[in-house]
């Protein structure tokens, strides 16, 4: 069975111990409240522990290597052993890959522990800890202190009041994707996700979990998610139907629709169904039809009383990443990913363009409020090209004028392509610059780093790029935060229009993306 997390990596000063600036004296080491108990809970759960800490005091001459070692030894004396220590001895002028917010310490810690950053959690008290976690592809949890800035808390994918809360969150998320009991292999299982392409992609880990424990998987999806459904591993058959209680442009519900869909569901021969929904959707109308179709066992999330419509009524806490929400539903039904599956998003791509020497910019979004203003995107493309990057601009059938405008003379409009072809293009890119929309999840599914231009209308921890290196840009504390607005309520769309091209260039450097043909003289001019 696949574990959600294999290691937790902690910042040292301000997270594990009280921050004493440039401390070289072991006698001044004081654990944060509840630290030892929290760490022992993780040890008891079989999770490896590491420390990832910037120690520029060494480069600045505030303490010696021997004093640093003595302080770390005192930390272990008070808090117990750690499986790895990763320290950056440089200051901000070094330009190293290890000083947070760079991801090097996290990548090195994961390698030392025999795992990947994607299966690590980083717990820290300031923004650079969270940025480093994202740039490595790890999960970030911020535990604020008096020095933590409000925008840093707003931008973090998850947060807790103290170390005990952070560890509780980690263990809760692990438990949610772990079946309580093992079960016999199922026959034909119907899985359901009737939503957009992006929603379908982030449901993939949950569908793979069902496929790992079933002989056959039939997927019911809507027309908006069909192209993505065809890319998902583990699906044997697809049924397409527009569900009026979920689709944003619903058709009328009448007896003929109910009769036709019930007959189609019965024809699958499914003995069991697992219904995947987002938090604002109800599984109960479909559960009623599945009962009428003769499906014997139905699992779904339901806050409303389901009566006899569900055999397994599942509940999840708010803020859970959508991919883990899906895995938790599968786990409630008794299905889990195998140990060889890392739990990330995954698709079957078309031909992959070689080279990895180009950046893809996708300016559109399925919801207007999440789309970066075209003029801002055009300026980003121009800056990328001036820095020496080859830039390919993508867009859907309704975004041809937008793509051409954003590409301008500096970029190249990649033209109209299928979702499978887009997956192949993204798989060959060094990075993708994109808002919160389907191609961001498609990039995550092919393992390509994401510069996420993220409007905070929905929580980043739920909908941001999952288990892939990313850098989040945009005002995370904007007035539209968590409003689910579909149109920007603030003139000028400041949460995204404030993103400067230089911010995107810096994000790419943090992700390790360098221009193949730098034009230093041209940029300087």
DSSP output for 424-460: HHHHT-SEEEEESSHHHHHHHHTT--EEEE--TTS-H
HEC profile of 23-62: CCCHHHCCECCCHHHHHHHHHHCCCEEEEEEECCHHHHCC
Annotated catalytic residue 11 = yes
Answer yes or no: are the C-beta atoms of 372 and 378 closer than 8 Å: no
Asked if the peptide bond before residue 89 counts as cis, ω within 30 degrees of 0, the response is: no
Say which of 13, 129, 195, 199 is annotated catalytic: 13
Annotated catalytic residue 341 = no
Answer yes or no: are the C-beta atoms of 11 and 124 closer than 8 Å: yes
Position of tokens 């909908």?
A: 463
Cβ neighbours for 454, distance < 8 A, ≥ 6 positions apart? 370, 435, 436, 460, 464, 472, 473, 474, 476
The whole-angstrom separation of Cα 346 and Cα 484 is: 27
C-alpha 219 chain-centroid distance: 23
Query: Which region, left, alpha or beta, applies to residue 457 given φ > 0 means left and ψ of -120 to 50 means alpha?
Result: alpha
**258, exposed or middle or buried, with CB in 10 Å at 0-12, 13-18, 19+?**
middle
Type and span of the H or E element at 298? strand 297-301
Say which of 11, 108, 129, 195 is annotated catalytic: 11
Active site residues: 11, 13
């Amino acid at each position: 069975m696949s574990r959600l997390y294999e290691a937790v990596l902690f910042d040292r000063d301000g997270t594990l111990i009280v921050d004493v600036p440039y401390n070289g004296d072991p006698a001044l080491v004081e654990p944060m409240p509840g630290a030892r108990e929290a760490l022992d809970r993780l040890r008891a759960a079989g999770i490896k522990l590491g420390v990832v800490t910037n120690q520029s005091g060494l480069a600045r001459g505030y303490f010696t290597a021997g004093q640093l070692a003595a302080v770390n030894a005192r930390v272990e004396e008070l808090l117990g052993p750690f499986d790895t220590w990763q320290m950056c001895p440089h200051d901000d002028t070094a330009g190293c890959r290890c000083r947070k917010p760079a991801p090097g310490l996290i990548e090195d810690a994961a390698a030392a522990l025999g795992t990947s950053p994607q299966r690590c959690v980083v717990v820290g008290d300031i923004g650079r800890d969270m940025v480093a976690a994202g740039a490595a592809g790890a999960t970030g949890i911020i535990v604020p202190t008096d020095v933590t800035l409000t925008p840093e808390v707003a931008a973090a994918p998850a947060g807790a009041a103290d170390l005990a809360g952070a560890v509780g969150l980690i263990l809760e998320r692990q438990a949610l994707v772990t079946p309580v009991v093992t079960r016999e292999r199922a026959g034909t299982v119907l899985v359901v996700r009737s939503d957009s392409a992006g929603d379908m992609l982030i449901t993939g880990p949950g569908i793979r979990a069902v496929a790992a424990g079933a002989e056959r998987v039939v997927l019911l999806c809507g027309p908006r998610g069909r192209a993505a459904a065809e890319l998902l591993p583990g699906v044997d058959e697809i049924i397409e139907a527009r569900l009026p209680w979920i689709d944003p442009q619903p058709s009328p519900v009448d007896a003929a629709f109910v009769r036709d869909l019930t007959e189609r569901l019965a024809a699958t021969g499914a003995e069991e169904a697992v219904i995947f929904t987002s938090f604002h959707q109800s599984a109960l109308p479909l559960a009623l039809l599945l009962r009428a179709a003769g499906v014997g066992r139905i699992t779904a999330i339901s806050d409303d009383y389901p009566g006899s419509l569900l055999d397994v009524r599942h509940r999840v806490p708010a803020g859970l990443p959508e991919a883990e929400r899906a895995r938790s539903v599968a786990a409630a039904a008794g299905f889990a990913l195998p140990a060889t599956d890392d739990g990330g998003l995954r698709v079957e791509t078309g031909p992959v363009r070689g080279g990895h020497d180009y950046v893809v910019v996708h300016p559109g979004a399925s919801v207007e409020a999440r789309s970066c203003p075209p003029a801002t995107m055009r300026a980003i493309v121009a800056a990328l090209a001036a820095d020496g990057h080859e830039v390919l601009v993508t867009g859907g059938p309704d975004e041809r004028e937008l793509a051409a405008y954003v590409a301008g003379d500096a970029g190249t409009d990649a033209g109209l392509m299928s979702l499978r072809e887009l997956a192949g293009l993204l798989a060959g890119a060094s990075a993708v610059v994109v808002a919160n929309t389907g191609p961001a999840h498609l990039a995550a599914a092919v393992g390509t780093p994401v510069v996420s231009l993220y409007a905070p209308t929905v929580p980043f921890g739920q909908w941001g790029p999952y288990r892939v290196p990313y850098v989040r840009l945009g005002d995370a504390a904007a007035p539209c935060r968590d409003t689910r607005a579909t149109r920007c309520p603030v003139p000028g769309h400041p949460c995204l229009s404030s993103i400067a091209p230089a911010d995107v260039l810096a994000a790419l450097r943090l992700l390790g993306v360098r221009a193949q043909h730098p034009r230093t003289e041209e940029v300087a001019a």
